[in-house]
Amino acid sequence: GRWLGGRPPYGYLIADLGPHSNPSKAASGARLHQLAPDPLTAPVVLRIYDLYLSGAGYKQIATVLTHEGIPCPSAHDRIRNSHRSGHAWAMSAVRTILGNPRYLGYHVSGRTKKADILLDPDAPALGHVTRQQWQERAEWVTASVQTYEAIVDEMTWRQVAALIAANARTKA
């Protein structure tokens, strides 16, 4: 259930769990961390799910949150997002929140993998670039037990996931 690093998902903050369990790491000041619901942004995550279930789309949800003056993810955490403008909610931020299984309280790994892509398939000697690519959902590894407090209940998350899948099929 420990958070090993990186930016926490919107709606969560990194909570201190105390000294590291490894005595040598604890002696050097290392501490354990875990995700905990952020009292300011966790209710916004719930609201996004509720709005989507009531029929609002990504753009409409982003517009409502922006007009109500609710800081978008990059505005909420300016220190970690100084490279973003933070002036308004984006449809992509809403879509990312709705599709993130971490809001169920389970640690999920393997959502992306590194892939080496040739710069020119006809001239392999030119080299390659390494990119992160999304894995198929079947390739994701989800913890078998909840590792931190959920923001969204299982039924709501599954309803939203089914709606997203149905909407994706109708637009293809």
- How many other β-carbons are positioned within 10 Å of the β-carbon of residue 32? 18
pLDDT given at position 66: 93
Distance CA 76, CA 92 (A): 16
pLDDT one-digit tens code per residue, 144-167: 788 889 999 999 999 999 998 888
pLDDT band at 86 (very low <50, low <70, confident <90, very high): low
Q: Which long-range contacts (CB under 8 A, 24 or more apart) does 71-80 make?
A: 73/10, 76/10, 76/40, 76/41, 77/7, 80/7
pLDDT one-digit tens code per residue, 46-77: 999 999 999 999 999 999 999 999 988 887 66
pLDDT one-digit tens code per residue, 88-146: 898 999 999 998 888 998 877 777 788 888 888 888 888 888 888 877 878 777 777 88
